Chains A and B, each alone.
Chain A
Amino acid sequence: MNLSLSDKLNHILESISSLYAEGWLAVLFIALIIIELFLTSKKKLVLGVVALIGLAINFLFIQKTGTGNEAPFMLGLLAIHKSSLFFKYLFNFSGMVVILMMMLSGNNKQEDFKNYGEFYSLFIAIILGLNLMAMANNLLMVYLSIELVSITSYVLTVFKFDKKGAEGGIKYLLFGAISSGVMLYGMSLLYGFSGSLVFSEIASGLAHIPTIPVIIALGMTLGGLFFKISAAPFHIWTPDVYEAAPTPLVAFFSVAPKAAGIAVLLTFIQGFENFVQEEKGIIYLLGFVAGLSILIGNFSAIWQKSAKRMLAYSSIAHSGFLLLAIIPLSASGYSGLYFYLGIYVFMNFAAFVFIQFFEETSGNDSIEKMKGTGLSFPVIGILVVTIMIALTGLPITAGFTAKLFIFSALWEAYQNSGEGFMLTLFIFGLFNTLIALFYYLKIPFFMFFRPNENQQFSIQPVQTALLVVLTLPLIFFFFKPDVLTGFLNTLLF
């Protein structure tokens, strides 16, 4: 691409038409900072409203960008991939839910985040970073967008301004910085091997390089992504950070950056498709990481007493399941992956909305403290049972359908390739789904089968409504999964 300067400028100007949504988010980010200057410390809720409206408008911009032709723009840094639109919708939706949760916080003083004005602007910056991750087409862009998301996340983790928050923050930061250092080193090696930073060019450039260095370089690069999606062995930070950070943010961490990491992984794998088909090493790597994540996630979760830590481990296990969907490298696997992500957004947010409600009324998130709440609040109880069943992946919820899609894609891949590796993963995953039953059902168990210890609870009607809105799709998409798959197809293909 040896263009003259004016050609380059023209190219950049043309590219802007594909960046409406990101441009709008940048404007929103700056606007929130400016508006905050004019607000007294008690009136920060205005910022939440502005951010909420801004994100709602952003839906229009995302739609306007349209489905991608996959042609790279911005000098090859970005491209609208097939999946970009889906991920952008997902981030935007998650962002709105989190801002709502944030604005609802503050039933007790300890958990009052809604008046920390900087929160909203920083949060918009995360969404911007996530959008860029979903469109990245170049190692430089991958690195920049991941860092934009990570650094902002470190800051937000500390936002409780207590001892736990500081500890979680420093752990997150050090772990994240080391992971990105490893990833960067891997990237620099890939650059050296192929002489390019663009995915498709790297793939062709790697053809004449011996396998072992390539696997090491690719492995190191993927390490950074595993950190972002909290897959084993890069998962260890997850529970501590989840315990330390504000609950609405934890809900976001467990969904959006994970989805973005998966988006980058998809671009990566699809860019390297030929290479991967020939050299199975990367697929084995993904398989081991997936298996390990599911195993560690499930077994450690059994042990947990804090609901947030339990969900942290559960999110590690879910990362494993998401990786399982990539392994077949088939269309049905990918569509299963998108379906799973779509459902995962609903069930995880619903779980965290419940925990936030519970945490604020009882002061902490210990599962044992939930004794008898199901009997005192049957509506909440039933919703929670539904959510937990969805997380386990059992019928009457779309969690089951999602797992069914992934497992049948894996089974199909096994039958096509005849590789015992796939079969092992299939059986292993199925078996772990059963184990998951234990810890997920622990919450309903305490809610319904233990007598209430005269605890006082109060529910805000808005929170109940939010819970209902997030839970109903879980049941609806079980009965009519074709609605969601149809919607995904119009977005993706």
Chain B
Amino acid sequence: MIPIEHFLYISGALFCIGLTVVLVKKNAIVVLMGIELMLNAANLNLVAFSQYDAQLIQGQMFSLFVIVIAAAEAAVGLAIILKVYHFFQSADLDDIKELKG
């Protein structure tokens, strides 16, 4: 059996990569992808940890819900990005800075 640490390394790395993408990439759609990575890092954790759960299944169920919600979030996100593109002619987050102060 693969030791639990390995899962943690992978998920930690995934989370950090996702966070970096979110902070560094300028295109809104790529940022959404970064968020997806962060969520999947958490999913990995949940599934890996569920082997220690008395009921064995809570973590796996949780990750299913997360996947569904991530899909919904992405759908709404893309819709809004479409709207943003309509107004700003760009999906570059650095261009979207009219609200400030």
Q: Touch between A and B in complex, CB under 8 Å? A: yes
A250 CB to closest chain B CB, in angstroms? 13
Q: Contacting A244 at CB < 8 Å: which of B50, B88, B99? A: B99
A197 neighbours in B (Cβ, 8 Å) = 58-59, 62
B86 neighbours in A (Cβ, 8 Å) = 166
| A192→B53 CA distance, assembly (Å) | 8
Interface string of B32-69 (1 = CB under 8 A from A): 10010011011101101110111100110110011001
Interface contact A170-B38, CB-CB below 8 Å: no
Interface string of B1-19 (1 = CB under 8 A from A): 0001000000100010011
Q: Is A368 engaged at the interface, CB distance under 8 Å to the other chain?
A: no
A143 CB to closest chain B CB, in angstroms? 7
B55 neighbours in A (Cβ, 8 Å) = 1-2
B27 CB to closest chain A CB, in angstroms? 12
Closest to A300 in B: B101
The A interface, classified by DSSP as helix, strand, loop or mixed, is helix
Closest to B81 in A: A170
Q: Is A158 engaged at the interface, CB distance under 8 Å to the other chain?
A: yes
| A309→B93 CA distance, assembly (Å) | 22
Closest to A154 in B: B76
Q: Is A206 engaged at the interface, CB distance under 8 Å to the other chain?
A: no
| A115→B10 CA distance, assembly (Å) | 50
| A140→B87 CA distance, assembly (Å) | 37
| A240→B99 CA distance, assembly (Å) | 6
| A170→B84 CA distance, assembly (Å) | 8
Q: Contacting B77 at CB < 8 Å: which of A163, A173, A184? A: A173
A171 neighbours in B (Cβ, 8 Å) = 96, 99
B88 neighbours in A (Cβ, 8 Å) = 163, 166-167
A182 neighbours in B (Cβ, 8 Å) = 38
B38 neighbours in A (Cβ, 8 Å) = 178, 181-182, 184-185
Interface contact A167-B66, CB-CB below 8 Å: no
| A140→B63 CA distance, assembly (Å) | 9
Binding site for B on A (CB under 8 A): 1-2, 139-140, 143-144, 147, 151, 154-155, 158, 161-171, 173-174, 177-178, 181-182, 184-185, 187-189, 191-192, 195-197, 239-240, 243-244, 303-304, 309
The 8 closest A-B pairs by CB, nearest first: A188-B45, A181-B38, A192-B49, A240-B99, A184-B42, A166-B83, A163-B87, A188-B42
